[in-house]
Amino acid sequence: MKKVERINVMMRYINNRAHFTISEIMREFNISRSTAIRDIREIEAMGMPLVAEVGRDGGYFVMNNSVLPTVRFTDNEIKALFIAFMATRNLQLPYLKSRQSLAEKLIGLISEAQQEDIVLLNQILLFEGTNPNNPDLLELSDLPHPMLEKLIQTLLLDSYLLITINEEKENRSYPIYLLHLYREKSIWLIEGFDLKEEKKQIFPVDNLTSVEPYPVNKRVSRKNILEKISKQEEVINLVLELGPQAIAQFKKYHPLKVSISYTNPYQTTAVLKTFINVNNSVELTEMTNWLLFLGGDIKVREMPEEILEGLQERLGLFCP
């Protein structure tokens, strides 16, 4: 644990106790006596009211009604927070309605000069997807699916879930172990291990109709699940070399499961390795379109025949 992190945790540890000793601090944070004393002195210097007790078993106690020192943000930290808030407008994010009240509370913590900077940034900066005439306007299409927040609240308590998905006007339930919840192409997706089919599946949150914890007596261990996933790992069948233009396109957009490894210190060349399920027509089409999006600044090391045929067919449409 780094010193700054240790000091912050120690402040909370101390603030939650009426009395503590140097020995307790040493054991709790696995530090030497001299480091413990030095850290306590730094905490006292920050304004936490500690009183030392004299005697063989003496220690410290926190004065009554004490609280942690007031949180203070630097100018750059304030700008970082509010620019992050601005950038999340209209992105169908969970808890979007709470952002305005959170912003108002944070504004109340900063000085008038800092508030003026934030107001100016709010007037000048525009991000993709915002209404230039009213950047704060939220349309119905900007709000997340109503099930998203319930899903997050449930998964924070338990990763074993029974989800119900609407499929062609028919509801179907899936017992899953949730692996990831992610957003791709403006759509929230659930990646989970299907406990019945014993394989990974992707479910769109937009089709989610209910979510609840899966009964404990029907579960398998997480270790067992991860072992089965590792045995089902796909073999890489697409390997590309990317030049600077293709890397720039990759940074604009790439599927979540695809990553690159830079091959020189200047990050102007890279290698892309991934698996494409050629038996999935939707994935095959999407990957073909994405490879065209990367442009001509690529070299193929390995590629499935189905992808190659798809690219040739698509490119043929543009040739006389």
> In the β-sheet with 19-20, what is the strand arrangement from edge to edge?
19-20, 60-62, 50-52
CA 137 – CA 114 distance, rounded (Å): 24
190 three-class SS: strand
The reported pLDDT for the residue numbered 247 is 96
Average pLDDT over residues 77-97: 81
The reported pLDDT for the residue numbered 42 is 87
Examine the pLDDT at 154 and tell me if it is beyond 60. yes
Examine the pLDDT at 245 and tell me if it is beyond 70. yes
pLDDT band at 273; cut points 50, 70, 90: very high
CA 261 – CA 270 distance, rounded (Å): 5
Q: Say what percent of the chain tops pLDDT 70.
A: 88
Average pLDDT over residues 213-224: 94
CA 210 – CA 40 distance, rounded (Å): 50
The reported pLDDT for the residue numbered 54 is 62
The reported pLDDT for the residue numbered 69 is 52
More confident residue, 71 or 302: 302
Please name each of the domains of the chain with its CATH number: 3-62 (1.10.10.10), 75-142 (no CATH), 146-231 (2.30.30), 238-316 (no CATH)
Average pLDDT over residues 248-255: 92
13 three-class SS: helix
Chain segment 275-298, per-residue pLDDT in tens: 998 888 888 898 999 999 999 999
Burial 237-266 (b: 16+ CB within 10 A, else e): bbebebbeebbebbeeebeeeeebeeeeee
The reported pLDDT for the residue numbered 140 is 57
Task: Work out the mean pLDDT of the chain and round it to a whole number.
Answer: 84
More confident residue, 228 or 5: 228
The reported pLDDT for the residue numbered 142 is 66
More confident residue, 212 or 17: 212
